Amino acid sequence: MTANRFISPLDHLIVGVDKALRVVGGVTAMSRPNPATHAMDSELSDTDRRHSAGLMRVNHVGEVCAQALYDAQASFAHTPQLRAQFEEAGQEEEDHLAWCAQRLDELGSQPSVLNPLWYAGAYVMGAVAARIGDPVSLGFVVETERQVEAHLNSHLELLPQQDAKSRAIVDQMRIDEIAHADAAQAMGAAPLPMPVKMVMRAMAKVMTTAAYRI
């Protein structure tokens, strides 16, 4: 039987850099079918198309950040069970990333040019939360996913009614984010202090406002 190979910090660094380059470079693959596949592709006005593209670019940025967060939290998790949970959630978030990228292309638009910045910032936040301890790391997931759920609910109201493809993607993302938050809560998430939640909301506001345009 082959012995388990020791994974050095350098190995983790190389894997992490490779993951970051693939995410910000748009090299992602989906493990589940795109929920928009069977949605009716309605004709959109130029105004509605630009609006949908702006919202889906925001969602794409959110998924870039999710990749960074889950990768950092998995790397610094204190137990194998928690690491496996973060890796599984990260895989589902990679589906979201691919779906959003595909929809942006269909809308004749592109991801945010600031994706490297968003990824780096999110990775640092995830690493800090994980280093503090697993309950805090899980609490960070719960708060992040609850904020994302609210954000996606607002997008279901803001997206043009006839943009069934974008709406199908956003709705499935919302379902997955709820499940991620519930799983983190069940694993022993610690509640975050209100000032931390307020800072997270403020940072999310800056990100979404910028990503809608660039």
- What's the topology of domain 52-213? Ferritin (1.20.1260)
Report pLDDT digits (tens) over 148-179: 999 999 999 999 999 999 999 999 999 999 99
Annotated binding residues for Fe cation, as ranges? Answer: 63, 93, 96, 145, 177, 180
- Judge whether residue 3 has pLDDT over 50: no
Query: Rounded to two decimals, what is the model's pTM?
Result: 0.88
Band of pLDDT at residue 10, cut at 50, 70 and 90: low
> Where exactly are the structural domains of the chain?
52-213
**Residues placed in the known binding site:** 63, 93, 96, 145, 177, 180
Q: What pLDDT score was predicted for residue 1?
A: 41
Show the 3-state SS of the chain: CCCCCCCCHHHHHHHHHHHHHHHHCCCCCCCCCCCCCCCCCCCCCHHHHHHHHHHHHHHHHHHHHHHHHHHHHHHCCCCHHHHHHHHHHHHHHHHHHHHHHHHHHHCCCCCCCCHHHHHHHHHHHHHHHHHHCHHHHHHHHHHHHHHHHHHHHHHHHHCCCCCHHHHHHHHHHHHHHHHHHHHHHHCCCCCCCHHHHHHHHHHHHHHHHHHHHC
